[in-house]
Structure 1
Amino acid sequence: MTMRAAVLSSHDLDGLTVTESAVPSAAPGEVLIRVETVGINQLDLNVIAGVGPGAHARLPRILGIDPAGEIVAVGSGVDPARLGQAVVVKPNIACGTCPRCREGDEADCPSQTVVGVHRDGGAAEYVTVPARNAIDRHDLTAAEATAVVHSAPIVLNALRIAALAADERVLITGAGGTLGRAAVAIALARGARVVAASRRPLTPVGDERLVHAPDPAALTAALAAEDGFDVVLDVSGHGPTLSAGVAALGWGGRAVFCSASVDPDLRIDARDFYLRRKRLAGAASARYDDVAEALALAAAGVLPPLAGARYALDDIATAYRDFPRAGDGKVIVDVR
């Protein structure tokens, strides 16, 4: 039995073709998902280019880290009652045995692997994943779940790391993207006072203050009159922008960044950082309970619509070429 899949055979977009591949079988502890949608991600571009975390992919590789669909087969050890369940895939697969996993902090598992990087992904009509990574999406459509599953959970993890409290002042940089809009909505829902900054003009999610800053110098100038933020959450992946955010932290301020794919050149005033007791952390993944909470927030209407432009599977190379200039929201590929 064969399926259509987006297979990368060389580290360039010319090496990406939609072709016939064998349908995988669910191994023990796994489920087979008939895919409806999958997202376009910066990590996919890293795999295509063979750089950063994408350098771990061994070609040929089926792309797609965040598919959603329906369970159509289960491997041994998996409850057959899951057949027919509508699910979305948590991309990061924790090892389950290390000290962090045993403590329930799978987000920081040092041995985690990623769907579409270390194993074949969901830009295909079928994909297999560990049963635990196939999360019940309940009443969310496949596109809605794909848009949420790799964005909002990371934000939840980041805000937990930052120990965000109600009425604290939060700066969110890179607020125009999918993670950024989710971050603004979640911070507002938790009672924070939010400033949302982006290099492109923004539309408000709620009652946050908007800052349009085309470059880090403009951001620094726009924040010059501020009294210092309690929390900075950067989802831009742009080192100089994060540098400006760290500089804008107040006494004891906490900065968390959720992306480092665009420009990793981070510079910090060490004296200011030290004397003002600032803290900095990275959040590159999420816990399984973060995914469940994010999906629940989406179903409850707490999150704004996050799905954006849509492409057919046959046009997936075009989707990658257009990304990230495809407008607002998560770029979705309709597989089925």
Structure 2
Amino acid sequence: MKAAVLQGVKNLEVLDWQKPAPSPREILIKVKSCGICGTDQHIYHGHPGSAEVNPPIILGHELAGEVVEVGAEVTNLQAGDRVSIDPNIYCGTCKYCRSNRTHLCENLQAVGVTRDGGMGEYCVVPEANCYKIPDSMTFEEAALVEPLGCVLHGFRKIQLSPLSKVLIIGGGFIGQLFLQLVKQQNIDYIIVSEPAENKKEILFRLGANEVFTPKDERELEADVVIECVGRPESMEFAFKAAGKGGQVLLFGVAAPETVISVSPFEIFSKELTIKGSFVNPYTHEEAISLIAKKIIDVQQLISHRFTPEELPATMHDYPKLGVSKGVIVY
């Protein structure tokens, strides 16, 4: 099979790769669509994903496809089933798994991170990580279930009321998903900070009341701040923009070495609540439902489509391409 294989830092090659075979409790899927995540870019540049990455490996943890073969002990799937994949694989025995915090698993494995993923024509996945999708759902939508699941996990960590003023920092794909979820809560006022002028139209269409660029930053007192960028300046702005009694959700993935300057007195005097959010525990099925029912629209958020052969150049030039959300189409 053809696969885009990460050989090392900034070294991705399309190669003839051995087609995998499923073990007794695994399935083999023919990948139909795979999203390109910001985490894939982190890994490409030598940073860890949800776990350490050891090349050579096929990236791609946002994937969907068709079942072509099932292992001998698989009972709930058969060839021809259409599935979306939750990439995270938990050990079930560490203290976090045993305390219902599986996403913090000490032995976390993940499709497209610690084992081959969706940037190849075929992918082997545990049966437990496969979710059937309705016929009405496109494979592109099904590939984007995983990031929506991650956003749902973060969304559950904040408390909203109809009187809340919400600031979303970063109006890219993740910010657009948060915007749709927040809008569903009949929130009083939603502001988005986004530097790209060409994203303003879709942000207003999705429900933003106000969009401004970071260079035009002004004093704000938001009740809830959702940071979706992961850069020092945007995270520091999140704390400044939070009003008294405010909540700050740090969702954007920063580089491991990133350090920010925050005033402890500001946290104290405003009595801020600060939360992080990691991966997508127990949210995949709900995310499928939200997309299938058209409550959350992911299809219109796709800005670029790539072939597998384009991936080496795409990953190299990704920041320059102006991609809001890119998917690989097979």
Q: Give TM-score scaled by structure 1 length.
A: 0.88
**1:185-237 CA distances to partner (integer Å, 9 max, x unpaired)?**
0100122231111122222133322332234xx32x2xx1x4x2221111111
Contact 1:7 1:61 in 2 (8 A): yes
Q: Which residue of 1 aligns with 2:250?
A: 257
Q: How many residues align?
A: 321
Q: Secondary structure at the residue paired with 2:177?
A: helix
Identify which of 257, 269, 276 aligns with 1:275: 269
CA distance in 2, matches of 1:51, 1:80: 36
* CA distance in structure 2 between the partners assigned to 1:70 and 1:47 by the alignment: 26
Q: Does 1:63 align with 2:59?
A: yes
For residues 103-157 of structure 1, the C-alpha deviation after alignment (integer angstroms, 9 at most, x for no partner) is 54433334322222211111111101122222222232111222x2232212211
How large is the RMSD of aligned CA atoms in angstroms?
A: 2.2
Are residues 1:230 and 2:223 paired? yes
Runs of 4+ aligned structure 1 residues displaced above 4 Å come to none
Residue of structure 2 in register with 1:140 after alignment: 137
Within 2, Cα distance between the matches of 1:182 and 1:100?
28
- Counterpart in the other structure of 1:90: 86
Inter-CA distance 82–169: structure 2 relative to 1 (3 Å threshold): farther
Identity, in percent, stands at 28
Question: How does 1:1-336 map onto structure 2 within 5 Å?
Answer: 3-12=1-10, 15-53=11-49, 56-79=52-75, 81-138=77-134, 139-146=136-143, 148-175=144-171, 177-192=172-187, 193-201=189-197, 202-203=200-201, 204-215=204-215, 218-219=216-217, 221=218, 224=219, 226=220, 228-261=221-254, 264-288=258-282, 290-304=283-297, 305-327=300-322, 329-334=324-329, 336=330
CA shift for structure 1 position 294 = 1.7
When residues 163 and 38 of structure 1 are mapped into structure 2, their CA distance, relative to the original with a 3 A threshold, is: same
Pairwise CA distance, 1:325: 4.0
Q: Distance in 2 between matches of 1:246 and 1:60?
A: 39
How far off its partner does 1:10 sit? 2.6
**In 2, Cα distance between equivalents of 1:258 and 1:98:** 25
Contact 1:240 1:265 in 2 (8 A): no
Alpha-carbon distance in structure 1 between the residues aligned to 2:157 and 2:57? 33
Q: 1:206 to 1:35 in 2, by over 3 A?
A: closer
Q: Is the 8 A contact 2:193 2:213 kept in 1?
A: yes
Q: Is the 8 A contact 2:50 2:110 kept in 1?
A: no
Decide whether aligned partners of structure 1 residues 7 and 66 sit closer, same or farther in structure 2, where only a CA change above 3 A counts. same
Contact 1:247 1:269 (C-alpha < 8 Å) held by counterparts:
no
Contact 1:250 1:276 in 2 (8 A): yes
Q: CA deviation at 1:273?
A: 0.3
Structure 2 length-normalised TM: 0.89
1: distance between equivalents of 2:95 and 2:183? 34
Query: Could you tell me how far apart the structure 2 residues matched to 1:207 and 1:57 are?
Result: 38
The gaps in structure 1 that reach 5 residues or longer are: none
Q: C-alpha distance in 1, partners of 2:61/2:176? A: 20
Residue 39 of structure 1 aligns to a residue whose secondary structure is strand
In structure 2, the CA distance between the partners of 1:325 and 1:299, relative to structure 1 (3 Å rule), is farther
Q: Which amino acid aligns with 1:143?
A: E
